[in-house]
Amino acid sequence: MTDSAEKNSRHKQGMAMRRQVLGDAHVDRAEAGKTSVDAPFQEMITEAAWGHVWSRPHWTRRERSMVTIALLAALGHDEEVAMHVRASVNTGCSREDITEALMHVAIYGGVPAANSAFKIAKRVFAEMDLEASD
């Protein structure tokens, strides 16, 4: 397989995984909003994060989701925490799974990071509950 064909294949695989985890609506918004400034970045994360890492077979999407939420929370990436908490419904993560991941953040990443992430998770869950009741 040529480098170009492999890159195209990895991008297709990454885009499929990205849609499965984040949902079509989120990916469609991101794709519609990309410009020449961030198009190379969007291509890179689709291939690297979604095509290389999320598509690996050893861990389940649920496991990857928990680890991703914990890492994002520990690093203080609040918008990404919210996005992945919302996406957890697509990965098989329960709310208890997310609680456990954030408990690990408190010990290994710091109480302030976990406190912030718990607030985000509660807000996102409330939004999701409201949307489900409509």
What are 65's two structure tokens?
């989701």
Q: What is the pLDDT of residue 5?
A: 74
Burial of 34 (0-12, 13-18, 19+ CB in 10 A): middle
Q: What is the pLDDT of residue 40?
A: 94
Q: What is the pLDDT of residue 24?
A: 96
- Listed residue (106, 62, 70, 111) closest to 87, CA to CA: 62
Q: What is the pLDDT of residue 1?
A: 62
Q: What is the pLDDT of residue 47?
A: 95
CATH 1.20.1290.10 residue spans of the chain: 59-134
Name the CATH code of domain 59-134 (choices 3.30.1050.10, 1.20.1290.10, 3.90.76.10, 3.30.1360.120): 1.20.1290.10
Give 10-residue mean pLDDT values along the chain (134 residues).
77 95 95 95 94 95 98 97 97 98 98 98 97 90
If one counts every other C-beta atom within 10 angstroms of the C-beta of residue 6, the result is: 11
Q: What is the pLDDT of residue 6?
A: 72
Q: What is the pLDDT of residue 75?
A: 97
